[in-house]
Amino acid sequence: MSDKPEMLDVSGTQIAVRHRSGGNPGLVWLGGYRSDMLGTKAERLDALAGELGLAYTRHDYSGHGESGGEFTDGTISAWLAQSIAVFEQYTSGPQILIGSSMGGWIALRMVQELNKGATDDRIAGLVLLAPAPDFTVELMEPELTDAQRADLDQKGYFEEFSEYSPDDPNIFTKAFFDDGRKNRVLTEPLDTYCPVHILQGMADPDVPYAHAQKLMEFLGKDDATLTLVKDGDHRLSRPQDLDLLARTVAAMAERVRKDG
């Protein structure tokens, strides 16, 4: 693989993509909010794909990492469209989507758009790490302060510092919240037509494990497994967490091969 990413034009924005050729099922990484495709988990999956001889595709959303575009112009709808464009351009055959945090939300929306229960469905499995579907409505809006609500109404955005970006605040726009409502998935049963395995830390301060349990309730018709890591945080990037991720993805790939 080249050190430099390939660039895919999606609606006029240059999206950075790294693709490892290999066999199926391919692995597709979907990162979290403000993360990029060179993070610890994404890199560990690249090594795993190399070990298993599997194709591996990852990209940066607009405004993230090596992609073009302004971060503050980003929405779930825009990042979903970019993810689907990369999926369709760079992958073939059955694929396993691996979504972290917000990437878990995007993975579930991709399933809704692409998996219809047909024999030629290409999403063959989901591995979700601390998935945060509907986090704007479910997790953020109830906790907004009066000052943040006022900023959304008056300025169209508010800033929030976090332990992940102590010097560079997260910027949440009103457009992002409005678009989040249009992409909600925890409103009716989710039929993914493929196995799902969720990895969730019980010490996660950002996405409480009750949120993963709620998601499981909506996956009632699917073959879904939830693994709780008692001392796991939101990132799940410790060596033991990365080992668990690698084992889970490898087992999912083996299952897809057998079922296929």
The CATH code of the domain that includes 118 is 3.40.50.1820
State residue 202's pLDDT score: 98
| pLDDT-based confidence at residue 117 (cuts at 50, 70, 90) | confident
Q: Lowest mean pLDDT: which of 90-99, 154-163, 187-196?
A: 154-163
Q: Is residue 41 part of a domain?
A: yes
Number of Cα atoms under 13 Å in the Cβ half of residue 171 = 15
Taking a C-beta distance cutoff of 8 angstroms, is the pair 54, 26 a contact? yes
Task: Look at 222 and 14; give whichever has higher pLDDT.
Answer: 14
pLDDT reported for residue 165: 64
User: pTM of the entire structure?
Assistant: 0.95
Whether 23 is covered by a domain: the verdict is yes
Question: Rounded mean pLDDT of 30-45?
Answer: 96
For residue 89, is it within any domain? yes
- Domain extent for 98: 6-135+188-259
Over residues 160-186, mean pLDDT: 87
Asked whether residue 162 is assigned to any structural domain, the reply reads no
pLDDT above 80 for 163: no
Number of domains in the chain: 1
Q: Is the dihedral of CA 52, 55, 61, 65 positive or negative?
A: positive
Give a yes or no: residue 158 inside a domain: no
pLDDT of residue 1: 47
Q: Is residue 78 part of a domain?
A: yes
Q: What is the pLDDT of residues 120-141, one digit of tens each?
A: 899 999 999 999 999 999 999 9
* 181 in any annotated domain: no
Please state the rounded mean pLDDT for residues 2-7. Answer: 86
Q: Is residue 178 part of a domain?
A: no
182 pLDDT higher than 90: yes
**Mean pLDDT for the chain overall:** 95
